[in-house]
């Protein structure tokens, strides 16, 4: 038992997870899979990658035990291996943001200025239950169907400008998307407020909602 060689082997095995996480695109794929199972084709389109490149990244994640596959008819779908993978991804973001100033600069460049009013999960629930707000899911419809906040209405961000008439004028709108680093909710609030609507965003998103063990429902219903 013990010995330098066995110790080295142990740490090399642990490093397989770190190596798999050592790619921005693979982290983006984990972010997408945190919303629900996806095919290679869907993931490639969402991540702006070629199918071959996406498949190679997914194989790296699978070999590290971070994702698994399952067949639905003729389609192979990838999914996170377990909730602890989502926890690991979320914690990686937290550590990076706390210790790397460049993360904050990159976040501001991507999400824009901090001019979007936000509320937390408890306040969202309070306003929704009191009938003071309509909860708007602006992720792609497939992600909404995979799991969403109960009572949320689905209007994907790219459809929002053309579907504003479907939303009531007399209630505040709380928009949410994938997670704390998702730009869709920011863009939705900008679109809504530019049209004179009262709108705020959820401070984080579906990833954090799930990890907080808040209620989630699935299905494609939820039109405004």
| Segments of the chain assigned to CATH 1.10.10.10 | 4-89
Contacts of 72 (CB under 8 A, 6+ apart): 37
Best CATH choice for the domain 109-211 from the list 3.40.50.720, 3.40.50.300, 3.30.70.100, 3.40.250.10: 3.40.250.10
Please report, for residues 196, 205, 220, the alpha-carbon distance to residue 34 in angstroms, rounded to integers and kept in the order given: 33, 11, 18
Whether the Cβ atoms of residue 70 and residue 77 lie closer than 8 Å to each other: yes
Average pLDDT on 171-188 reads 96
> What confidence tens digit (pLDDT) does each residue in 68-109 have?
999 988 999 999 999 999 999 999 999 999 999 999 999 999
Q: Taking 80 as the threshold, does the pLDDT of residue 220 lie above it?
A: no
If you search the block for the tokens 């909730």, which residue do you land on? 83
Q: Looking at residue 73, what is its pLDDT?
A: 86
Q: Taking 70 as the threshold, does the pLDDT of residue 222 lie above it?
A: no
pLDDT band for position 155 (cuts 50, 70, 90)? very high
pLDDT band for position 223 (cuts 50, 70, 90)? low
If you search the block for the tokens 């779908």, which residue do you land on? 77
Q: Looking at residue 224, what is its pLDDT?
A: 56
Rounded to two decimals, what is the model's pTM? Answer: 0.92
For residues 34 and 125, give the distance between their C-alpha atoms in angstroms, rounded to a whole number. 22
Q: Taking 60 as the threshold, does the pLDDT of residue 194 lie above it?
A: yes
Q: Taking 80 as the threshold, does the pLDDT of residue 120 lie above it?
A: yes
Q: Taking 80 as the threshold, does the pLDDT of residue 129 lie above it?
A: yes
Q: Looking at residue 15, what is its pLDDT?
A: 96
If you search the block for the tokens 């976040």, which residue do you land on? 107
| Segments of the chain assigned to CATH 3.40.250.10 | 109-211
Q: Looking at residue 221, what is its pLDDT?
A: 66
Q: Taking 80 as the threshold, does the pLDDT of residue 192 lie above it?
A: yes
* pLDDT > 90: percent of the chain: 92
> What confidence tens digit (pLDDT) does each residue in 26-39 have?
999 999 999 999 99
Residues annotated as part of the active site: 177
| Domain 4-89 of CATH type 3.40.50.300 | no
Please report, for residues 69, 89, 137, 208, the alpha-carbon distance to residue 199 in angstroms, rounded to integers and kept in the order given: 38, 29, 13, 21
To the nearest whole number, what is the mean pLDDT of the chain?
A: 94
């Amino acid at each position: 038992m013990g010995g330098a060689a066995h110790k080295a082997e142990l740490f090399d095995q642990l490093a397989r997870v770190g190596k798999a996480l050592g790619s921005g695109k693979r982290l983006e794929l984990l972010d997408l899979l945190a919303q629900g199972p996806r095919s290679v084709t869907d993931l490639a389109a969402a991540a702006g990658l070629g199918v071959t490149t996406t498949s190679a990244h997914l194989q790296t994640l699978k070999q590290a035990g971070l994702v698994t596959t399952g067949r639905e008819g003729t389609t192979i779908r990838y999914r996170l291996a377990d909730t602890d993978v989502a926890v690991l991804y979320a914690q990686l973001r937290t550590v990076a943001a706390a210790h790397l100033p460049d993360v904050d600069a990159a976040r501001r460049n991507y999400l824009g200025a901090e001019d979007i009013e936000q509320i937390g999960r408890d306040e969202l629930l309070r306003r929704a239950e009191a009938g003071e707000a309509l909860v708007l899911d602006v992720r792609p419809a497939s992600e909404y169907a995979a799991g969403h906040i109960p009572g949320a209405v689905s209007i994907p961000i790219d459809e929002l400008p053309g579907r504003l008439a479907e939303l009531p004028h007399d209630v505040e709108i709380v928009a949410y998307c994938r997670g704390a680093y998702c730009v869709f909710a920011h863009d939705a609030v900008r679109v809504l407020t530019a049209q004179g609507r009262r709108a705020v965003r959820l401070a984080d998103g579906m990833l954090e909602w799930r990890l907080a063990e808040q209620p989630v429902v699935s299905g494609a219903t939820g039109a405004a």
